[in-house]
Amino acid sequence: MFCDLGNASVYYETYGEGFPVVMIHGFTPDHRLMSGCMEPVFENQPGWRRIYLDLPGMGQTKGEEWIQGSDQMLDVVERFIEKMIPVGPYLVAGESYGGYLARAIASRHKERVAGMLFICPLVEAAVSKRVLPLPAVIAQNKEFLSTLTPEQQSRFTPLSVVQDQYNWERFEKEILPGLNAADSVFLRKISERYAFSFEWDKEPVPFEKPVLFLTGRQDHVTGYQDVWSLLEHYPRASFAVLDRAGHNLQTEQSGLFTALVDEWLNRVVENENIQ
């Protein structure tokens, strides 16, 4: 389905009924990254309306000419949420770049955001300012990797800390289609204005709703150390650094991922007194 915003048309998929959860994927993939890891959580969690969108230039959402950087990306997401959820509280879940957008949304709409989930969130827009571990491979099935074509290996292995059949199959299903569908010319333009142009993360008032930060110990894309510096702004946040996990933490530590997200939802239910 598409949500018409006038100067942009945002593709989205929605599942279930109840308390709304907005899912924002990272830079270059599409909504399938989020639905692939989040829908298994909701198999045992009824009462949630899950809304998965494709950001401009990714998936089925066209990258419009007027969108020049992250400022306009945020504008699109804010207006999408306003149209999809005109009243009442909602949750925001963001992966990587989606986490960058999610934090800005919460800072500007704190009265409505009832909780946040961050999966390998982007904290520092500039790569040169990020504190990152060196790339590492923790587990590798060389026999299986030999069955992949050179092109498949080149797409899968650079970000993969666990290189086996399970993680390849999920990568092929949930991440690779979005990478292939992305508008590379449009995204190159956005990457030149990747950081917001306005001050937004110096808010002295803490966000006192349930939050979960999930980071990978071997994530050499966004890292985990920069996230630690945010915790004082989120007094209700759990912070997990998972070993054997890189930037695809949601698949490489799928069991822990599901358990921790389930616990976060339970905290939201308690805090919001959701029946």
Could you read off the pLDDT of 156-198 as tens digits, one per residue? Answer: 999 999 999 999 999 999 999 999 999 999 999 999 999 999 8
Residues 19, 91 contacting (CB under 8 angstroms): yes
In which region does residue 230 sit, left (phi positive, over 0), alpha (psi from -120 to 50) or beta (all else)? alpha
Signed CA dihedral, 62, 65, 68, 73: sign only: negative
pLDDT for 204-241, tens place per residue? 689 999 999 999 999 999 999 999 999 999 999 999 99
Would the pTM of this model clear 0.75, i.e. be above it?
A: yes
Question: Which pLDDT band, with edges at 50, 70 and 90, does 128 fall under?
Answer: very high
